[in-house]
Amino acid sequence: MKNIEEGLKETMCVLAARKALKEMKEAAKDAEHICTSCGRSAAQKEALCVPEPLKDSKEHEEHKEE
């Protein structure tokens, strides 16, 4: 799968609709983000519709405590 910077314009949802399993596997490898809408994960947040980091940042942790 091409990196977003190299011109990838499809999210994981679009790839799933096309049944592009090989591209989905590549996008999910070393995942750092999860889509809060569908639950799919990807290395690049741009590959997801509603991305959120898998690892909570300090700022995110502080926000949750409020």
pLDDT tens digits, 23-58: 999 999 999 999 999 999 999 999 999 999 998 765
The number of domains in the chain is 1
Task: State the residue range of the domain holding 57.
Answer: 4-65
**Does the structure show a pLDDT above 80 at 22?**
yes
Residue type present at position 32: E
Tell me if residue 40 falls in helix, strand or coil: coil
Q: What is the CA radius of gyration of the chain?
A: 13
**How much is the pLDDT for 7?**
45
